[in-house]
Structure 1
Amino acid sequence: MAEDRRRREFGQYLAGLRRRTGKSQRQLAGLLCALSGVQSVTRNEVSRWERGGRVPEAWLPFLAAALRTAETQLQQAVAYARGDRLAQLPGAAATLAELLPPGDPLEPLTARTGHRIDAAKVEGLAARVHALRLADDVLSGGDLIAPAFRELSAAVTLHREASYPDDVGRSLLVQIGELAQITGWIASDAGRHADAERAYRLGISAARQAGDGPLTSNLAGSLAYQWVNAGRVQDGIGLAQAAVDEAGDDAPGKTRALFLDRVAWAHAKAGRAHAQEALRALGEAHDALGDDGHSEAPLWAYWVSREELEVMDARVFTELRRPLRAVPLLADVLARYDATHARELALYRSWLAVALADANEPEQAAAEAVRVIELSGDLTSDRTAARTRTVLERLREYDDVPEVRAVLDAHGHLLLTGP
């Protein structure tokens, strides 16, 4: 619903203000208590605001002081969250449709008004695209969506308006495709699924024009992954398999492993009837990763590794309700995982929590649920918010277990902040 979306966007806006002041949710809660003289704001309450579960109208004067923001700006944000059609969220990212030209965004202008560019200009864009990927490793979609949209819009404008030799034009199309993929991923993480799909489709067009098969497959596979997670499972299965087919057997091993992992996930989301297809795709993904006989993997596949494939193995096992296979894998990977990647840690621990619940270990599942909530509290990620709700929903089966009951009593409000 539009009202739910507006509240979530308000929450992301509030979280961004807090992070810019360098405060944690707990620190902000303490400061609000000190400023107001009322000891009633907790970290959980701040988390509820930032997830869009509640709009803190009564606290605006104190929030303005704590976040060093004009109260009128916060009032405007609250009006937006409440559904005022004339209100705009301060500093919110425009939709991608508003930033791209109408019609075919990649159609060059007949009379190009821009200056002539060379390979160095495209190399600079490539460096910014990779910097955005690296930022996504440690930041969430709500933090990165505005700069990602700006970069993609600027790159499309450059393609349409500048002049360049053919080889530079092809390289520019490749970078637009790569930028569209990470922008789509960021938009999806921010809960902006329509914008994400628009970015992915733009990128597919650019990659195909550039003749880059693996990049086309990466974009198609990214869109398939979003479709599957949004409930379009059969469509996602078809598109994920098409991405594998388009890449072909000559694609670098890392990229084929990634595309096959997406096929495995799509089949796992289809349920146990698709278990064999899912497990077969997992095996093929491991075989592909170990195949060094193909060309060097592109830079955008830098994160694909044996460890990441094991995470997908565990996710598939969890989805297929095979906890005895999922739990050891996840525990091993999490013991070695980079602590700066908070979103991925929260996501992977969420699967561990569900697998432990499936293994009839509710006390351990409750402990993992707390870790998931603590990790995701400061993130502007729709993915971690959705997984938190999944974990809490799964724990409800054990609400007679004291440890589980304590988690549900403290954090059950997060179940009310979904789409």
Structure 2
Amino acid sequence: MSNDRRMWFGTYLARLRRATGRSQRQLAERLCALSGLDSVTRHEISRWERGARVPDAWLATLAQALGVPTGGLEAAAAYARGETDTAPGGPSPSLAELLPPGDPLAPLRGRSGRRVGAETVGHLAARVHGLRLADDVLAGGDLIGPAFRELGAAIRLYRETSHTEDVGSALLAQIGELAQIAGWIASDAGRHEQAERAYTTGISAARQAGDGPLVAHLAGSLGYQLSNTGREREGLGLALAAVEEAGAGAPAKARALFLDRVAWAHTRAGEAPPAVRALGAAHDALSADDGAEAPQWAYWVSRAELEVMDARVFTELARPLHAVPLLTDVLARYDATHAREVALYRSWLAVALADANEPEQAAAEARLVLTASADVASERTTERSRVVLRRLRGFEDVPEVRDLLNEHGRLLAG
């Protein structure tokens, strides 16, 4: 039984549980009540959700407790056991299962497949950018399957067709771009190992394509994930390496993005002065834009997005007087269809308001975060919801906060 598939089942089960509003302990109690047995504990639910085991004997009772069809859970369990290659309603197999054995970017010897040219590269580029645009309005849990299917198909296209050297380099660059957005999507879905494999595959493709800014984008993306998952020093090292890799001649938007990631990495490492300096350098880089064409993957980098990072850094550094006005202004004009980003940005605003000793306003923002997060299949928004609730625990004597914690405190129990 594949460990990745068991982990997928665990993520799938955890998502169903959270949709009911139950903690792991509450689900265990419900299963015991339905079965008349006392053999299920919170620790057992945790094992299932970590992918340590698949609860075959409990599938029917679980379906009843979660209010879902038994067939759906049975199909998910069959996928986890390796009895089917189709993952119902969830992510596709991991990148390792989608790619050829050995070096996934090594062309096949003596390949005699169909010849492809610039038109094929153009079609692939359009699909890659379409996936980026989809990520603006959908979350990782919704997109991880299509993203990794596209990545596997792009690598097979490169390996199994014939093409000129220039077309081959262009295909490798598109594989690198696709690996970056697939890694980002996997990270958002909480599939960090899968994201790391995608990023490293993309780095290899971008290096072979000779695309320095893209190598830096991939390295910086991986560094950003590491900074957010307890590997702060590694994350900082990659963020700094990305700036060096790109060089001073990188397009202004790309350089601003890389410096913003350096600021965040310093923040996560507890280094305030260099974090603030990096924020200033990012703004300077964007201001120096001479109109040269930026990479398509940097389409979203703007003054407003840099201000969001400013506010996040100031929030993490407990400087709410800087953070609150920035976030309030950005949210007032942010595209509401970008539900995940709006929820994330409001989560930092809620924390900043709590730091500013404005618990009533913080609770109001937190309620908006929790409402939005319930409809977004993003592990990042779920974790930020927990961060906000933990921060508000110090204000339990405030009625608005107390009501919020009573209604949503189960998120902390899970």
Q: Which amino acid aligns with 2:88?
A: P
Task: Classify 1:308/1:129 alpha carbon distance in 2 versus 1 (closer, same or farther; 3 Å).
Answer: same
Residue 42 of structure 1 corresponds to which residue in structure 2?
none
Distance 1:62 1:252, change over 3 A: closer
The answer to whether the aligner puts 1:163 opposite 2:162 as a matched pair is yes
1:255 maps to which residue? 254
For 2:211 and 2:399, the matched residues in 1 are separated by: 55
Structure 2 equivalent of residue 353 of structure 1: 350
CA shift for structure 1 position 62: 5.9
- Structure 1 segment 1-400 matched on structure 2, within 5 A: 6-12=9-15, 57=62, 59=64, 63-64=68-69, 71-77=70-76, 79=77, 90=88, 92=90, 93-271=92-270, 274-293=271-290, 295-400=292-397
Q: CA deviation at 1:265?
A: 0.2
Total equivalences in the alignment = 374
Which runs of 5 or more structure 2 residues have no equivalent in the other structure?
Answer: 22-48, 51-58
In the alignment, what sits opposite 1:48? none
Change (3 A) 1:346 1:91: closer
Q: Distance in 1 between matches of 2:231 and 2:215?
A: 20
- Runs of 4+ in structure 1 off by over 6 angstroms are 1-5, 83-88
3-state SS of paired residue (1:249): coil
CA 1:301–1:402 in structure 2 vs 1: closer, same or farther (change >3 Å)? same
Render the CA deviation track for 1:76-115: whole Å, top value 9, x for unaligned. 44x579x979798535410111001122110111021421
Percent identity among equivalent residues?
64
The 1:11/1:256 distance shift into structure 2, 3 A limit, reads same
Q: From the superposition, tell whether residues 408 and 380 of structure 1 become closer, same or farther in structure 2 (CA, over 3 Å).
A: same
Note the C-alpha offset of 1:130. Answer: 0.2
Shift of residue 63 of structure 1? 3.5
**Contact 1:392–1:408 (8 Å) recurs in 2:** yes
Equivalent-residue separation in structure 1 for 2:83 and 2:17 (angstroms): 20
For residues 257-316 of structure 1, give each alpha carbon's deviation from its aligned partner in whole angstroms, at most 9, with x where no partner exists: 000000000011112xx1110000000000000112373211110000000000000000
> TM-score normalized by structure 2?
0.85
Shift in Å, 1:414: 1.1
Distance between the aligned counterparts of 1:125 and 1:325, measured in 2? 42
Structure 2 CA distance for partners of 1:198 and 1:289, relative to 1, 3 Å: same
**Structure 1 SS opposite 2:340:** helix
Tell me the equivalent position of 2:54: none
Structure 2 counterpart of 1:90, which letter? P
Q: Aligned equivalents of 1:80 and 1:384: distance in 2?
A: 29
* Aligned 8 A contact 2:136 2:338 in 1: yes
Return the alpha-carbon distance in structure 1 between the equivalents of residues 105 and 82 of structure 2.
32
Does the 8 Å CA contact 1:180/1:200 hold for their aligned counterparts?
Answer: yes
